[in-house]
Amino acid sequence: MSAQFVTETVDNTGAVVGNVCLTLDRDDNPWIAYIADQPVRNVQVARRTDAGWIREDTHVVAIADESRIPLAIDSKGNPHIACRDGDSGNLRWAFERQGSWTSQEVPTHGGLSPRPVSHISMTLHPGKLDTEMRDTPQFAFQEMFSARSLGYATKVGDNWSVEILDEDPIRETGLFASMAFDISEALRIAYFDFRDQGMSLNPQRLKMAVTLADGWDSRIVDDDPTLVGHFSSIPKGTTFTPFIAYWDKGSGDLIVWSPSSIFGDPGRKEVVAAALSSRPIPSAAVNLQSKFCVAYPDNGIRIATRHHESGEDAWGVQTVADTGTWPSLAYDKQGSAHIAYEAEGSLKYAREMEG
């Protein structure tokens, strides 16, 4: 039996552009970041309280590209967002303290000065195992100043640390970055690289960078020569087993990659939905039963969940809404799904009913 959802309108101004990101705080209250033309593509943050939805303008103007507005809540309950600055194209980080928003540009050029970036992602260190790192912001981005490479930045105290994690003299890398900590507090970044071969659709390989005891390791996880990968999504770590949802622009297939337990095996690819005609920017999550879940737009908003039945894995798909784009999915501590999305210029939120 499919789950039933209760849907609410969060912002009905008709000015919502998209770039939606939903997260839950420690009390499982939903928060949503998004871009709205109020007045000029400002980043808005909405949160649900007992009295209803409260919307705040961060006064940060963003570029409305194909990246979400990353949103994270720190251990004190304060929201953090990141975006590409609407004027400079630089990476801008903003956070709220005592009801007031503060923002600053991240010195992505060697920790010395800001420079234009693309394909951004952000998260906060959970700090459950490494308490000294708790709440430190972590950023992934495509560095555009020189070689269009994968960059990483973090701020500990007053000090910025900036690194280039993947640079290739013949490939553009760091496209469509998505980052998350796993349960061991290893940080993983999914992204694509690209080489212009003069084709109408040039192959884009899926890669993953992960923190190890002695630094970063970057590896190719899907180098299918026909893959034209877009829109990676890696879920927050409730499991040691990472998975990555992404779209193949060549075939139109929405794919999930997960690692193999067999040494040397390239991993497992599963088609979640075939030949999608839209640009289905996915949102990956893990539910309470540690099942892989992916929200995506396909003539409405869908959630696909991987089930193990009769000795085989299969994807079950349910419809949350008949229209919408930019879905963002999360599960609360009771296992209920929460999803936010844009629909016809409005911001919608749906919650799975208990029982």
Query: In the prediction, which pLDDT does 355 show?
Result: 59
Query: 86: how many CB neighbours lie within 10 A of its CB?
Result: 17
Q: What is the mean pLDDT of the chain?
A: 92
- Greater pLDDT, 314 or 261: 314
Residue 1, pLDDT > 60, answer no
| Domain around 168 | 5-352
Q: What is the pLDDT of residues 197-227, one digit of tens each?
A: 888 889 999 999 999 988 999 999 999 999 9
**Pairing mode of beta strands 244-248, 149-156:** unpaired
Average pLDDT over residues 149-175: 94
Residues 6+ apart with CB under 8 A from 267: 221, 222, 257, 258, 259, 260
Query: 267: how many CB neighbours lie within 10 A of its CB?
Result: 15
Q: Which of 26, 77, 76, 33 is nearest to 55 (CA)?
A: 33
Q: What is the pLDDT of residues 238-286, one digit of tens each?
A: 666 789 999 999 999 999 999 876 666 778 999 999 999 788 999 999 9
Total structural domains in the chain? Answer: 1
Q: Could you tell me the pTM of the whole model?
A: 0.95
C-alpha pair distances (Å), 198 with each of 203, 224, 228: 11, 18, 14
CA distance 237 to 226: 30
Please say whether the beta carbons of 165 and 184 come within 8 A. Answer: no
Q: What is the pLDDT of residues 322-341, one digit of tens each?
A: 999 999 999 999 999 999 99
Give me the CATH number covering residue 221. 2.120.10.70
Query: 124: how many CB neighbours lie within 10 A of its CB?
Result: 20
CA distance 207 to 322: 33
CA distance 108 to 1: 49
**pLDDT band at 22, cuts 50/70/90?**
very high
Residue 145, pLDDT > 90, answer no
CA distance 210 to 90: 24
Query: In the prediction, which pLDDT does 305 show?
Result: 95
Please say whether the beta carbons of 202 and 214 come within 8 A. Answer: no
